[in-house]
Structure 1
């Protein structure tokens, strides 16, 4: 299976957990930029109502800068093999293998570590505890799918 033209990386639980210091910083920046983009967009709407073309252009330039930074951060996560699921709350998934099938290890900004997983189709609402499911005997036997 490929993601954006590259093989999908499969994480072992401890490997995914070891990336959290870096992933947390990236995701925190994404959440902050996402919120800022929303604020700037509201300012654009207000400026448009006032027909303030100079302000609209200034804000448009700011949105382009923010969007570029946003894209760079998303690409950084993708390079690590991590999938951004919700940039407003900082929800990410780490593809993994469990009992021969691909699943997601799930982490949200603010959580201390990765304690949950879910099937590809169930999403955040279907999270299950990793305890008892992800140990060395059930860990991924390969790093790519």
Structure 2
């Protein structure tokens, strides 16, 4: 898992599958954020309402359970990238790195959302700012 390296063509072959997973993750995180904002608003409104007693039932149990389930689902999706050997750097906008070797040097082939293909790379410590076009194979 941690030792996998990719060629440029292997990264591009895997890209459609990764894009589908990324879209699913982006949709899930957007839903989570919307639900979390609603939850926070409702919780704040209840705290400001007069204390009339709500019994022993937690009025937020269902929302909290849904949020926790969504978080677990997102964690599984994120873990799937790692299981494939891909480093998911950002969800929005999508940013992924593929460990590789170029001229005997460890590098990261990188892709950012909006690019049709994986076509750039950077050194392990250069980060996104150090990206360069991958040399023609």
- Which of 14, 23, 46 aligns to 2:41? It is 46
Instruction: Name the residue aligned to 1:33.
Output: 28
Instruction: Name the residue aligned to 2:50.
Output: none
TM-score, normalised relative to structure 1: 0.79
Instruction: Name the residue aligned to 1:141.
Output: none
Instruction: Name the residue aligned to 1:101.
Output: 105
Mark the runs of 5 or more structure 1 residues left unpaired by the alignment.
1-5, 136-145
Q: Report Cα offsets for 1:73-103 as digits up to 9, x if no partner.
A: 1121112111110122111111111122211
Q: Report Cα offsets for 1:51-92 as digits up to 9, x if no partner.
A: 2752x3232112112111111111211121111101221111
Mark the runs of 5 or more structure 2 residues left unpaired by the alignment.
48-57
Q: Does 1:79 align with 2:80?
A: no
Q: Distance in 1 between matches of 2:76 and 2:27?
A: 14
**8 Å contact kept, 2:96–2:110:** yes
Instruction: Name the residue aligned to 1:119.
Output: 123
Instruction: Name the residue aligned to 1:17.
Output: 12
1:84 partner SS? strand
- The 1:69–1:29 alpha-carbon spacing in structure 2 relative to 1, beyond 3 Å, is same
> Matched residue pairs, number?
127
**8 Å contact kept, 2:2–2:85:** no
Per the TM alignment, residue 45 of structure 1 is displaced from its structure 2 partner at its CA by 1.4
Q: Distance in 2 between matches of 1:40 and 1:65?
A: 12
TM-score, normalised relative to structure 2: 0.83
